[in-house]
Amino acid sequence: MAEGGGRMQNTTTSEDNANKSSVVDHTKGKTEEDECPAVTTKDTSEPEDVMAKNKTKAEQLLALGIECLEKDEDREALNHLTEAIALDASNPLLFINRAAAYARLKNYDDAMEDAETVVEMRPDWPEAYLRKGSIYLAEWRHRLAYCAFQCGLSLDPGSERLGRAFFESKTRMQKAKNGTVYPKPPTHPLMDKSALKELRRNSFTRDFMSDPEFVDMLNRMRRDYDLWLEVQNSEDTRYMVASTVAMAFEVNAEEVDWSDTQEKEKHNEDLERFSYPYVQSFEAVREVVIPASPPAPPEVKRSRTPPPVVKYPKGCEIDGSPLFSGVMDMRIPSFSLE
């Protein structure tokens, strides 16, 4: 009995200890932050410090990447820039220079992805469209290059490099019209990312673009011609509708240009201006330069033209009453129909 009672007492003690151990004493270990909610913790500043350090490191890697590009060390440049993007993906200079590294290594798919990223980040930067169009020219996609250069020139009409590249894309399409044979890489209507933007505005496809899975598939098949063919033949007819609608966009127009015959004077001026040979190159870019916006044209104040004053011969009468007294001002009714 005593032994059994002792065991009971020990059991109760152990249970009490267990309960006590599970109770948290909130009065111990309190800091100033716990006592006063107005005092913020020190951990909130750590992410900002980390971001600042990452950005600084990314800028150092950018400088190394540019230096490698200038030395034609393209693989080393690619490695530096990829590491930098992992640290700071908000700098368009990282992407535009990595696009150059990819393009030099003939990896045009990844080069175009980076170029499209730059266009989305800085749609006001002409250099982004020059890089994008140059990649298309390297792939022999002349119409797509033409449209990219045209976007760049709309931002900086006086750019010599954009003007020369734009003229090159037109010249190649003119030569193709006259029988010159160029390589024809597989192309489909949804290849350029600008087509996806147009699909969001089109009444036939606007609702499709609200489906994230649909948009994700469009992005996946942009640079994958075989996947595009596979999706076209699927049961989901939305992709066929999207491709049909995109065929009407300018980026998917026929690779033929008629400006040499329809705009002869302008064409001859361009021939003289761009008589030097076109050189395909993917140079390093050190800074983002946004051209100044042209001044707005002066507002033309148009004065309202007064209505004409009509003269009628004297003596015109109805029921003995003169209808007109020589001169009638059309602004003021001279009689009522009531």
Closest CA to 312 of 284, 334, 290: 334
Confidence of residue 24 (pLDDT cuts 50, 70, 90): very low
Confidence of residue 176 (pLDDT cuts 50, 70, 90): very high
| 199 class by beta-carbon count within 10 Å (0-12 exposed, 13-18 middle, 19+ buried) | buried
Q: How many CB atoms lie within 10 A of CB 244?
A: 12
Helix (H, G, I), strand (E, B) or coil at 73: coil
* Residues 115, 96: Cα–Cα separation, whole Å: 6
Q: Which of 30-44, 102-116, 167-181, 262-276 has the lowest mean pLDDT?
A: 30-44
The whole-model pTM stands at: 0.73
- Res. 216: pLDDT tops 70: yes
pLDDT in tens, 185-204: 999 999 999 999 999 999 99
310's enclosing H/E stretch is strand 309-311
* Residues 103, 109: Cα–Cα separation, whole Å: 9
pLDDT in tens, 54-82: 999 999 999 999 999 999 999 999 999 99
Q: Which of 21-25, 123-127, 286-290 has the lowest mean pLDDT?
A: 21-25
* Residues 93, 289: Cα–Cα separation, whole Å: 11
- Res. 254: pLDDT tops 70: yes
Helix (H, G, I), strand (E, B) or coil at 304: coil
Q: Domains of the chain, with CATH numbers?
A: 54-184+259-287 (1.25.40.10), 190-248 (no CATH)
The pLDDT value recorded for residue 41 is: 47
- Asked if residues 152 and 183 have their Cβ atoms less than 8 Å apart, the reply is no
